[in-house]
Chains A and B, each alone.
Chain A
């Protein structure tokens, strides 16, 4: 009792209260009027400021989708660029509501850091980029190479694992910031630049002569990249998870931002349920009936977001590959909305 009194007196005198972890993110977000979204400092196609200095990318679109579902306005998002080192602390401390930042879903992160992974926005894998001039055919030729890596990533561990498993020698040069990693590789400090294959493609598109560099065929790891929320707030977690599934479901049912209004009159019961014409799937997660309609209207479906940000028509030029819908032989699969 005495101790508590002292503590309370101190806390009061310092104007600080012992902050309990918040467990009602939806109310907080609604009170603020916007979602605080943690993104990268700039990986083209995933989250980077575009020519007009507006944040754009596949991961940015996820935050916009959640904002569309919550506020009926995809622009009610503010962005916090984070390094890979800062990201989890920023999420735990409540500085951001969603972390959508090329983050790999791993067991230790999901179970030990007080965070929860929502789903897999992009099935990725770690690759190697080298200079064509070096004449390297395969990652197995890389024994003795110097490798540039960003610190605090799964990349670091995967590289060590892969080289150890194949009895290859290597030495890593680890930088805190992505920019320095790329610069050091460009300046010739390293023979190899390794990170997720998608980011390699994004960085290569920014090089002076992209054709001087090639990405080796080996993909050495599973890197499921997805949005993350704080653990212990099931409602917010489910809002995020179903926003993601709505993007997939819309693509599967052929609903796009262009045809969503005419789809309101569709006879397909699955489309009716998705767009809130039949049943109310928004209420149980604290949203309106037309939550998915808003997402598709304002952001588009998963396929549109992919095509717009990283697809073959963009500078980054990634194929759908594993990220095709299950109906096209890919891994993207949403549970039914019913």
Chain B
């Protein structure tokens, strides 16, 4: 009898409440309802309290005149600008610091992370000491240190360091001439963009061909040889004519300079290329160092400066000589000179052909400070520097962890193929390490962006200083201002996160 009961019926029926699917949906509805109710209560409560405190609310203050000054903005600012423009100024200043900081912190962080794993005892120790020191000191203290140390080290306005090209450094910041392009110059700008794209395209194409066939396309190799010679010639001409400024005997010997440059260009096509390169490197290093040091320390003996610069030049030349000793022949080298020539040569041609004029507005010393030109305030420099140095230490640890996560067998396999250490890292290890490095790297980028708000303490006019500082105080609209600021940082974070996740998807291991 009981046997017949089960005929034709499916599984035993449970009550709805015990069905896992229904229960899941029910839980989610309850949780969702609680979250909505919670936020509703927060908002209502805030509104009630604001009313009780006799405060007016709303975002209309954004369209009132600000009436204060901002020391550094990326667009024209006057005291008659509106509060929303103050918001924008702070936002752009934050973005500026974040972008520059992220760029340099990544470079420095990767270098340090790889250095800490170096087989060279000294390099590894230096990197370790750097990372451990920087990681364990609060960022705000470091920012104060950099800001006030930099300030103290800089000369007063009257005694500014004068660098060549009308560049000045003093306690008010770095003053550089402002380019004043005329109408024709737009063609040059267009040419710069197009030739950059062209150079990158050629680079990618050449690499693809090489990956597919094992050699660069013959036409690229030919062009690269010529480009090598041209670039060598130009750099050598520049270096020697600068050197001639320093050596009185060469002052009027322009034929000699051109001849020397031609010799260097010819040598770059022969097996003596490394020596030619080393000589040019020596000349450039010597000139740059001597000029900088003479400008910055006028009290020092010029002879001492010259000797120091000469020694540095010799060291630089020797490093190049050693570094290029066992370079592959030009057929197996990435055609970097060609790309430089494309990117720089075409705009230069356009510049000459169109007859464009590029005038410069030069900073001029007035009673208190230089006027004109572009001025980078010390607050910006100190903040970018501090954030870079600090975040790089953390990025370095991420990089080290990522590289450590790659199986040692990979290194050995790369060694057995005869790859040098640089190539081993570049081609085998780091690409595999990236999938481990990128997620924590994203966090570091977000940290850097958020930490830029500490710039308020050293007088850099970023979002927190301009908006939650000055604007909030002048308007008293705490809730609105803080909400906007939070929204900004949240947006930054989500955008960075989205980009890094996209990138992570690209570098992740492709499973087969």
Contacts and interface: CB of A to CB of B under 8 A. Distances in A.
B is bound to A = yes
Interface of A: 3, 6-7, 10-11, 18-21, 84-85, 88-89, 92, 108-109, 112-114, 141-146, 148, 151-153, 156-157, 159-161, 163-164, 169-177, 180, 183-184, 187-189, 191, 230-232
B54 A176 contact: no
Contact of B69 (A3, A6, A141, A170): A170
A171 B71 contact: yes
B222 interface: no
Given A21-B52, A89-B478, A188-B171, A175 B472 contact: no
Contacts of B9: none
A177 B476 contact: no
Nearest to A89: B478
A177 B456 CA distance: 9
Contacts of B461: 174
17 contacts: A18-B49, A20-B48, A20-B52, A21-B49, A108-B476, A113-B55, A142-B368, A151-B465, A151-B469, A152-B473, A157-B474, A173-B459, A174-B470, A230-B53, A231-B53, A232-B53, A232-B54
Given A152-B473, A174-B470, A184 B68 contact: no
Contacts of A7: 37, 40-41, 44
Contacts of B148: 183-184, 187
A88 B476 contact: yes
A189 B37 contact: no
B152 interface: yes
A105 B376 CA distance: 36
Contacts of B171: 187-189
Contacts of B456: 151, 175-176
Contacts of B38: 10
A156 B79 CA distance: 11
A323 to B, nearest CB: 26
Nearest to B378: A189
A160 B71 contact: no
B151 A156 contact: no
A86 to B, nearest CB: 10
A92 B55 contact: yes
Given A18-B45, A174-B470, A161 B54 contact: no
Contacts of A188: 151, 156, 171
A256 B425 CA distance: 83
Most buried by B among A108, A177, A184: A184
A153 B472 CA distance: 11
The size class of the interface chain B forms with chain A is 35 or more
Contacts of A172: 68-71
A195 B412 CA distance: 67
Given A84-B473, A156-B474, A187-B148, 6 more contacts: A19-B49, A85-B473, A144-B368, A173-B379, A174-B71, A174-B461
B369 interface: yes
Interface of B: 34, 37-38, 40-41, 44-45, 48-49, 52-56, 67-71, 79, 144, 148, 151-152, 156, 171-172, 366-369, 371, 377-379, 456-459, 461, 465-466, 468-470, 472-474, 476, 478
A171 B85 CA distance: 17
A10 B41 contact: yes
Contact of A160 (B45, B67, B371): B67
A213 B54 CA distance: 44
Nearest to B45: A18
B45 A187 contact: no
A107 B379 CA distance: 34
Contacts of B48: 18, 20
Contacts of B67: 157, 160-161
A172 B461 CA distance: 10
B34 to A, nearest CB: 8
B368 A180 contact: no
A173 B144 CA distance: 15
B368 A112 contact: no
A156 B470 contact: yes
Contact of A114 (B45, B53, B470): B53
Given A92-B53, A144-B369, A160 B457 contact: no
A177 B143 CA distance: 14
A143 B371 CA distance: 11
A187 B151 CA distance: 7
A160 B68 contact: yes
Given A173-B377, A189-B378, A144 B366 contact: yes
B477 to A, nearest CB: 9
A142 B2 CA distance: 105
6 closest A-B pairs by beta carbon, nearest first, are: A152-B473, A21-B52, A114-B53, A114-B54, A151-B469, A160-B79
B457 A176 contact: yes
A20 B466 CA distance: 32
Nearest to B34: A10
A161 B457 CA distance: 25
B68 A157 contact: yes
A187 B71 CA distance: 18
A177 B44 contact: no
Most buried by A among B377, B457, B469, B478: B469
Contact of A174 (B40, B56, B469): B469
B69 A159 contact: yes
B44 A143 contact: no
Most buried by A among B45, B69, B156: B69
A262 to B, nearest CB: 46
Contact of A112 (B55, B156, B366, B458): B55
B465 A174 contact: yes
B458 A175 contact: yes
B470 A152 contact: yes
B476 A173 contact: no
B68 A173 contact: no
Nearest to A19: B49
B369 A231 contact: no
Nearest to B366: A144
Contact of A231 (B45, B54, B469, B476): B54
Contacts of B379: 173
Contacts of B377: 173
A173 B473 contact: no
Contacts of A21: 49, 52-53
A195 to B, nearest CB: 14
A140 to B, nearest CB: 12
Contacts of B465: 151, 174, 176
Most buried by B among A3, A173, A231: A173
A62 B371 CA distance: 47
Most buried by B among A145, A148, A175: A175
Contacts of B459: 148, 173-175, 180, 184, 189
A50 B465 CA distance: 31
A141 to B, nearest CB: 8
B79 A145 contact: no
B431 to A, nearest CB: 44
Contact of A151 (B40, B473, B476): B473
A144 B55 CA distance: 39
Contact of A191 (B44, B68, B368, B371): B368
A295 to B, nearest CB: 29
A157 B473 CA distance: 11
Contacts of A113: 55, 476
A248 B151 CA distance: 47
A198 B15 CA distance: 79
A146 B368 contact: yes
Contacts of A6: 37, 40-41
